């Protein structure tokens, strides 16, 4: 067996290699202690003479279930007399993915998917490659390369040289199926979070949903503060609720916090981030983006090195924060030993949680929410919803792939459960959130940790801490819809940390034209007039210094125009040569174009590489209609790409 680990921080101890940090109860373990914990548990199974005895896979899985943090491990299994074997462990966030495969009687394990692909000389798989082209990630343990697989969140996989692969899930995500009376749960949307909350009502005499979520939050940030120690915390501070919740919790604990953001001055994310940092009284860093610097970042050797290391064949590498993190570290704008805490959260699937109809109501009819697009709470209807919602980077129409992806989605929705487990709105919501947790969030979203790894910094995800994940999963469905209770908690915690007063007595003259107070406004609710006023509040001198001595007009384009070339607030579409853009179907976003580049269908700087009829079919009328409805020609066994 060949174990080839190339990322930083791996530690070897007694047949175990581990990376990261985790809590074992109240004990904080570094990578060395994590390795020793697994090694001790395996050694105990090997020394036992009683029969039956626990095997190493069982012992490792039990130990992984005890550990709570962000880590990965490769544990040698020395009990097999027939073939070398190892057990690969991923935490519940899959913060450090491992890739593996077997070829010609030998297994290979790496933290780089390309290393395994090269060792296997693997070709692409038409089904998983198609899935990647349509979503920018692969939803299961497979990658776009045949025979190359990756660890899943909360799983331990035993692999041996004989080709045996045995995965075990030790930590699943299936949120609460309790359906309390509507009167016990807050029904107000996030845009009116200043109204009194009804989510504090207790259920059956136990803690209320709000109290449970607060308890999980406290536990998660008590741990995060221990991880940080006396080091400052750096928070990528966007215009949303999640990152301000992270910043607010550290501020409330008296911790030194630095917020940062990136893009163009005037971008709603930038202006809201600037204001949140000012109200919290924390340092704020801004990394300006423009077309010229994107050419340098993406096309240079650093960009090539990052993309090659970060693409494991299962998720498109993140670009948004990669240049900002590298710039802040390279220029010494943040301490070298700082702990970086992105606002990734288990609550995110609530943003796309469908409204459910009565089980006997046909799809498209009005359901419990009063909406005509309510989804019947069945596995078939959920699979259709996932296809329509997530497999949408390109138009596509392929019956073979439709059948293949339907089975993949069902596995993601159910796990080992019977389809009958989905029979009402509560169980349907749990199944959908499980799909997002496993297929999208822990594969694609948490994959942006590779950008931080590339810059050589340490990360921790407080809102993915298992204590917060458990608390959030315990909430009734109506508290999870639209991230309702999570957002309510974020607003209240920010209001307290920033000294904004009680929402019930808020008569703040700074209330926006949107009708929202300063604690509730986000990048999506910041009105155009407030974007102008935000810029006026910051002097021309400061705006000038943000541009390194250059004066550029502020970015004030409306959100509806951001898909137009040159109009994105991150300016990142500059990585695509204009002539390449001109040859592609219209209305394609950068993610869609980058999936073509990642699968070697085009070169972003090479117009001659774009043979459009090679991967795009015309619509049913024989021509594209100018709306971007050209259909992706999905890969087949004979494509040879």
Beta bridge pairs of residue 76: 86
Is the dihedral angle over the CA atoms 178, 182, 184, 185 positive or is it negative? positive
The bridge status of strand 149-150 relative to strand 99-103 is antiparallel
Which residues lie below 8 Å from residue 33, measured CB to CB, with a gap of 6+? Answer: none
Angle of helix 126-135 versus helix 590-598 axis, rounded to 10: 150
Please name the residue that has the structure tokens 């947790």: 437
Q: Give me the residue label for tokens 């007009």.
A: 553
Lowest mean per-residue pLDDT among 82-91, 184-193, 386-395, 542-551 = 184-193
Place of tokens 């943000």: 546
% residues pLDDT > 70 (the chain): 82
**Burial class of residue 354 (count of CB atoms within 10 Å of its CB; 0-12, 13-18, 19+):** buried
Q: Would you say residue 641 has pLDDT above 80?
A: no
Q: Which residue's structure tokens are 């548990």?
A: 41
Going by C-beta distance under 8 Å and a sequence separation of 6 or more, which residues neighbour residue 451?
A: 306, 310, 317, 318, 321, 322, 325
Q: Residue 197 above 50 pLDDT?
A: no
Question: 35-87, pLDDT tens digit by residue?
Answer: 999 999 998 876 654 444 468 999 999 999 999 999 999 999 977 655 689 99
Over the stretch 466-504, which tens digit does the pLDDT of each residue have? 999 999 999 999 999 999 999 999 999 999 999 997 655
Mean pLDDT of 215-240: 97
pLDDT for 329-379, tens place per residue?
A: 999 999 999 999 999 999 999 999 999 986 555 544 444 444 457 999 999
Calculate mean pLDDT across residues 595-605.
92
Give the closest residue to 548 by CA, choosing from 187, 250, 288, 279. 288
User: Can you read off the two tokens belonging to residue 269?
Assistant: 């994310």
DSSP 445: G
SS3 348: helix
Q: Judge whether residue 180 has pLDDT over 70.
A: no
User: Which tokens is 14 given?
Assistant: 């007694």
Q: What is the CA radius of gyration of the chain?
A: 25
Region of poorest pLDDT, from 102-116, 176-190, 468-482, 491-505: 176-190
Q: At what angle do helices 322-330 and 291-299 cross, to 10 degrees?
A: 90
Statement: residue 590 has pLDDT above 50: yes
Q: How far apart are CA 136 and CA 133, in angstroms?
A: 6
| DSSP annotation of 266 | T
Q: In the chain, count H helices and then E strands.
A: 21, 18
Q: Over the chain, what is the mean pLDDT?
A: 86
Half-sphere exposure of 5 (CA within 13 A, CB side): 18
What domains are there in the chain, each with its CATH number? Answer: 2-169 (3.60.20), 183-348+443-543 (3.40.50.620), 357-423 (no CATH), 576-632 (no CATH)
- pLDDT score for 399: 86
Give 165's contacts (C-beta < 8 A, 6+ positions apart).
100, 102, 149, 157, 158, 159
What is the average pLDDT across 382-407? 92
371 to 187, 357, 384, 458, 519: CA distances (angstroms): 15, 9, 17, 45, 30
Chain centroid to Cα 482, Å, comes to 17
What is the mean predicted confidence (pLDDT) over 194-209? 53
**Range name among 19-28, 174-183, 390-399, 538-547 with the lowest pLDDT average:** 538-547
Pairing between β-strand 155-160 and β-strand 85-90 as defined by DSSP bridges: antiparallel
The Cα–Cα gap between 312 and 99 comes to 8
* pLDDT range class, residue 586, cuts 50, 70, 90: confident
Q: What pLDDT is recorded for position 607?
A: 85
């Amino acid at each position: 067996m060949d174990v080839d680990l190339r990322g930083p921080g791996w530690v070897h101890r007694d047949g175990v290699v581990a990376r990261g940090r985790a809590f074992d109860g109240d004990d904080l373990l570094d990578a060395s202690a994590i390795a020793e914990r697994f090694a001790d548990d395996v050694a105990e199974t090997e020394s036992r003479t009683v029969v039956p005895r626990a095997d190493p896979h069982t012992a490792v899985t039990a130990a992984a279930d005890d550990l709570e943090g962000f880590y990965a491990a490769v544990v040698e299994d020395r009990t097999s007399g027939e073939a070398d074997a190892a057990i690969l462990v991923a935490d519940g966030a899959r913060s450090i993915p491992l890739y593996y495969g077997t070829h010609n009687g030998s297994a290979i394990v790496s933290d780089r998917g390309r290393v395994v692909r090269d060792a296997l000389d693997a070709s692409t798989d038409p089904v998983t490659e198609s899935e990647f082209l349509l979503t920018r990630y692969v939803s299961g343990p497979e990658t776009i390369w045949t025979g190359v697989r990756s660890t899943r969140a909360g799983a331990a996989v035993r692999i041996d040289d004989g080709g045996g692969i045995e995965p075990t899930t030790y930590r699943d995500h299936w949120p609460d199926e309790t359906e309390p009376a509507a009167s016990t749960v807050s029904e107000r949307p996030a845009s009116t979070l200043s109204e009194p909350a009804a989510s504090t009502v207790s259920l059956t005499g136990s803690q209320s949903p709000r109290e449970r979520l607060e308890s999980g939050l406290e536990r998660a940030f008590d741990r995060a503060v221990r991880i940080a120690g006396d080091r400052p915390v750096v928070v990528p501070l966007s215009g949303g609720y999640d990152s301000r919740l992270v910043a607010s919790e550290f501020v409330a604990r008296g911790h030194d916090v630095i917020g940062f953001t990136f893009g163009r001055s005037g971008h709603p994310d930038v202006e809201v981030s600037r204001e949140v940092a000012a109200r919290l009284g924390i340092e704020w860093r801004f990394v300006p983006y423009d077309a010229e610097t994107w050419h340098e970042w993406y096309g240079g050797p650093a960009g090539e090195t990052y993309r090659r290391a970060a693409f494991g064949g299962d998720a498109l590498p993140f670009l948004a924060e990669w240049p900002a993190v590298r710039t802040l570290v390279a220029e010494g704008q943040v301490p070298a030993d700082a702990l970086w805490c992105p606002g990734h959260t288990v609550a995110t699937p609530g943003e796309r949680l469908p409204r459910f109809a009565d089980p006997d109501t046909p799809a498209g009819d009005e359901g419990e929410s009063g909406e005509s697009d309510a989804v019947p709470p069945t596995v078939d209807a959920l699979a259709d919803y996932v296809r329509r919602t997530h497999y949408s980077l390109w138009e596509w129409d392929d019956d073979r792939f439709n059948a293949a992806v339907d089975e993949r989605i069902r596995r993601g929705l159910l796990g080992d459960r019977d389809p009958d487990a989905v029979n009402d709105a509560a169980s349907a919501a749990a199944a959908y959130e499980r799909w997002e947790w496993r297929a999208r969030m822990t594969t694609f979203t948490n994959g942006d940790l590779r950008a931080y790894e590339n810059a050589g910094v340490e990360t921790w995800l407080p809102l993915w801490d298992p204590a917060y994940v458990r608390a959030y999963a315990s909430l009734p469905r109506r508290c999870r819809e639209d991230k309702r209770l999570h957002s309510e908690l974020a607003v209240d915690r920010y209001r307290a940390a920033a000294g904004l007063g009680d929402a019930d007595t808020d008569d703040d003259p700074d209330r926006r034209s949107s009708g929202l107070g300063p604690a509730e406004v986000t990048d999506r609710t910041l009105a155009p007039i407030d974007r102008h006023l935000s810029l006026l509040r910051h002097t021309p001198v400061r705006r000038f210094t943000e541009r390194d001595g250059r004066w550029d007009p502020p970015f004030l384009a409306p959100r509806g125009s951001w898909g137009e070339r040159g109009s994105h607030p991150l300016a990142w579409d500059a990585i695509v040569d204009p002539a390449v853009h001109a040859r592609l179907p219209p209305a394609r976003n950068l993610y869609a174009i980058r999936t073509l580049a990642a699968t070697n269908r085009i070169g972003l700087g090479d117009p001659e590489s774009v043979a459009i009829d090679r991967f795009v079919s015309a619509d049913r009328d024989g021509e594209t209609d100018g709306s971007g409805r050209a259909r992706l020609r999905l890969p087949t066994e004979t494509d040879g790409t």
